Amino acid sequence: MTAVTHTTGTVNGLHFEDPTRGLIRPLPTSVYRRRRTLAVATLATVVFLVSLVATELVGHVNGSPGSTLVGAAGEPVVYVVQPGDT
pLDDT tens digits, one per residue of 72-86: 677 878 888 889 887
- Output the pLDDT for position 8: 57
Domain with 32 in it: 28-62
Quick one: pLDDT band at residue 18, thresholds 50, 70, 90? low
Q: How many angstroms separate the CA atoms of 26 and 79, rounded?
A: 74
38 belongs to a structural domain: yes
Residue 65 identity (one-letter amino acid) = P
32 belongs to a structural domain: yes
**Residue 66 pLDDT > 90, yes or no?**
no
9 belongs to a structural domain: no
pLDDT in tens, 30-60: 999 999 999 999 999 999 999 998 888 887 7
How many domains are contained in the chain?
1
Q: How many angstroms separate the CA atoms of 86 and 83, rounded?
A: 9
Helices (H), 1-86: 29-62
